[in-house]
Structure 1
Amino acid sequence: MGAHALHRDLAELAAAARTALVREIDASGAWAADPAWRAAFEAVPRHLFVPYYYVGVMGGYERRWGESRDPRTREKWVRGAYADAPLATRLRDGELLSSSSQPSLMAMMLAELRVRDGDRVLEIGAGTGYNAALLAHRLGDDRVTTVDLEPEITEAARRHLAAAGYHPVVVTGDGARGVPERAPFDRIIATCTLASVPTAWLAQCRPGARILSPLATGLIVLTVRDAGHAEGRFLHTPAYFVPLRGAGRPDEESADLEGLPRRARESELFRFLLALSRGSLEPQEAYALWEREGQPSRERYGITVGADREWAWLDDPEGPYAWPLR
């Protein structure tokens, strides 16, 4: 098969796989809050953003290439590129540096961002560039800024975006510090897990801006009042992302759950409480609270960011259950 025929075959495979992915996301209800995102997922070719990716094979990793002349390998690679699953895309010394998130989770996060025409959006964590392309398709290149600490990641993101026909602003820098030269922003979305919400972001937001970020295995949505205050609650869904690299990198700790009942040890919601209250509650204290409050769902938890402190809470920012984040 010649190069032209190979390219045409790959494009046809990708179009069919993209249609199937959109149907799957549709069925999941992920973009119910803002169905306009459907058009972006229909248009943006994910396979151009994952020219290679890694999938677990016998404890190791296997690489699949879309350029293979073997039609079965090519088809398998394209199906994987458009699977509703996260793809590891960059590893260093066994550490995951970058990935392409599960598309239905991306769709849900983008829908919950609740963008409006004309909004300026800052993305923390460029990754492959796929999420920035979805934002650029919806809002326009000049309205989207994406930042990452690793030059090799931002360089690759720029290449992928250009190949797909998108040119948002890609910045190499510490996402915890934001991108002040591109401010003010109406929306900030992070695609990496935080330990706390950087106050620098608030100062770069317009009043009423919305911040959506992974934190403590959940997704927090904050409304910014001004440069010194933001507050909001968690969404219902669990979320696991690569940690933010740089000044705001989360501490990595694992709690000793020995002695706790199995239902707590195996409960994703209990582990969320442990992660959110890290260091403030011993596992036994957290378990007692969790049982006393009826094993609360994520939506009952929230975060308040002030000029001089930041805290997580259950039910009420000024209530009895609150834990410092910084």
Structure 2
Amino acid sequence: MGTRALDKDLEDLAASARAALVREIGISGAFDADPVWREAFAAVPRHLFVPYYYVGALGGYERCWGEDPDPRARERWVRGAYDDAPLATRLRDGELVSSSSQPSLMAQMLAELRVMDDSRVLEIGAGTGYNAALMAYRLGDDRVTTVDLYPEITESARQHLAAAGYHPAVVTGDGARGVPERAPFDRIIATCTLTSIPRAWLAQCVPGARILAPLATGLITLTVRDAERAEGHFLHTPAYFVPLRGEGRPQPDPAGSPGGVPRVARDHELLRFLFTLTRGSLDPQEAYALWDREHAPQRERYGVTVGDGAAWAWLDDPEGPYVWPLPG
């Protein structure tokens, strides 16, 4: 759609749909940890960041876009832009490589980031630029940096941000390496699934910084002690994101259908989380035995420690009996 203005009817529709989305997010409780984010979601127009997106259709995807010649299709595009749902925004060979996350999940992640007014934030995974705009609205352009591996993603994010009136630093590069030229950071938030925590991030954080990232279908929150060590627990929330891509980054593959595990438990969401967290360390039967013995532990009982040249996940205690190495 570029930067062409909407006609008044669509602008009015976008405004009312945005207000309804903010109410829906509020009802979900996603703003509870930091209600100031409500103002950002009310102010930043999501439709400017998704000039087109893809919806599932028979045999693949169908594109919804703001310059469709059919006025009813343009109206569907606007309404869809303000659904509390993830939107597929970029495909490559039929594979999803970029998306706009579910707004209520974005709100919860931003609230759990626990920013201060003077926080400097690094976002790993620029996506459409919408999340960076929300942060720039609250913190100011100069305190927000977003990075993505693909130049076409960073260029479109930069254009979307400019159209909405925001100009944070948008960097093309491997997010696993951080953005050292913009460091130090008080907060790092990732919008792509990790298999471990990149050590480069710790070195680019101030002591006491907070890292929030998707890991093993959950959200890990880490407090950085120094350039070598960080530790924290998972939030209770499930989270599924596009994997972090870059040099040397192993790609998480979905947990398969494990043999030897009772069928009634096999697809339990929390057991699948444990399968993913312990892949390569425990076989599914061992993971199931632990899960059953510990009475289907919730995500909050799990945590991650980075230190001593290694990273490991754990249940209840980082030095307890249930500890599993994460990829280097």
TM-score normalised by length of structure 2? 0.96
Aligned counterpart, 1:139: 139
- Alignment match, 1:262: 263
Residue of structure 2 in register with 1:316 after alignment: 317
Residue pairs, 1:234-253, within 5 angstroms: 234-247=234-247, 248-252=249-253
Q: Deviations over 1:182-238 (max 9, x none)?
A: 000000000000010000000000000000000000000000000010000000010
Deviation (angstroms), 1:69: 4.6
Separation in 2 of the partners of 1:95 and 1:129? 20
Q: Please report how far the alpha carbon of residue 259 of structure 1 lies from its aligned counterpart in structure 2 after TM superposition.
A: 3.1
Alignment match, 1:76: 76
Write the deviation string for residues 108-165 of structure 1: whole angstroms up to 9, x where unpaired.
Answer: 0000000000100000000000000000001000000000000000000000000000
Shift of 1:68: 3.3
Say yes or no: does 1:280 pair with 2:281: yes
Provide the C-alpha distance between the structure 1 equivalents of 2:317 and 2:60, rounded to a whole number of angstroms: 45
Q: Distance in 1 between matches of 2:151 and 2:7?
A: 29
Distance 1:166 1:19 in 2: 21
Shift of 1:11: 1.4
2:20 corresponds to: 20
Q: What is the CA deviation profile of residues 27-48 of structure 1, one whole-angstrom value per residue up to 9, with x for unaligned ones?
A: 1001100000000000000000
CA RMSD of aligned residues (A): 1.5
Q: Is the 8 A contact 1:193 1:240 kept in 2?
A: yes
Q: Shift in Å at residue 5 of structure 1?
A: 9.0
The residue that corresponds to 2:46 in the other structure is 46
> Which consecutive aligned stretches of 4+ in structure 1 deviate over 6 angstroms post-superposition?
none
- Note the alpha carbon deviations across 1:76-130, whole angstroms, 9 max, x for none: 1111011000000000001111000000000000000000001000000000000
2:274 maps to a residue whose letter is L
CA–CA distance in structure 2, aligned partners of residues 249 and 96 of structure 1:
17
Q: CA deviation at 1:253?
A: 5.5
CA change 1:45–1:5 in 2 (3 A) is closer
Question: 2-side partners of 1:6 and 1:171: how far apart?
Answer: 29
Alignment partner of 1:156 is 2:156: yes
Are positions 1:181 and 2:181 aligned together? Answer: yes
- 8 Å Cα contact 1:255/1:283 also seen in 2: no
Change (3 A) 1:226 1:6: closer
Q: Distance in 1 between matches of 2:31 and 2:278?
A: 30
**Residue 306 of structure 1 corresponds to which residue in structure 2?**
307
In structure 2, C-alpha distance between the alignment counterparts of 1:167 and 1:279, rounded to whole Å:
42
What are the ranges of 5 or more consecutive residues in structure 1 without an aligned counterpart?
none
Distance 1:68 1:94, change over 3 A: closer
Tell me, in whole angstroms, the C-alpha distance in 1 between the residues paired with 2:69 and 2:280. 54
Asked whether the equivalents of residues 66 and 77 of structure 2 are also in contact (C-alpha less than 8 Å), the reply is: yes
Amino acid at match of 1:315: D
192-201 or 249-258, which deviates more: 249-258
C-alpha contact (below 8 Å) 2:243/2:252 kept by paired residues: no
Structure 1 counterpart SS, 2:211 = strand
Distance 1:219 1:156 in 2: 27
Identity of aligned residues (%): 77
Letter in 1 for 2:287: A
Question: Any stretches of 5+ residues in structure 2 without a counterpart?
Answer: none
Question: Paired residue for 1:216?
Answer: 216
> What SS does the corresponding residue of 2:7 show, helix, strand or coil?
helix
Amino acid at match of 2:178: G
| Matched residue, 2:272 | 271
Cα separation, 2, equivalents of 1:149 and 1:44: 25
Question: Closer, same or farther in 2 for the Cα pair 1:251/1:103, shift >3 Å?
Answer: closer
Structure 1 CA distance for aligned equivalents of residues 303 and 125 of structure 2: 23
Matched position secondary structure for 1:85: coil
Check whether the contact 2:186–2:205 (CA below 8 A) recurs between aligned residues.
yes
Instruction: State the TM-score, normalizing by the size of structure 1.
Output: 0.97
Deviation at 1:274, TM superposition (A): 0.6
CA distance in 2, matches of 1:63, 1:251: 27
Aligned to 2:195: 195
2:227 partner letter: A
Q: Tell me if the contact between 2:176 and 2:198 (Cα under 8 Å) persists in the aligned partners.
A: yes
**8 A contact 1:87–1:102 mirrored in 2:** yes
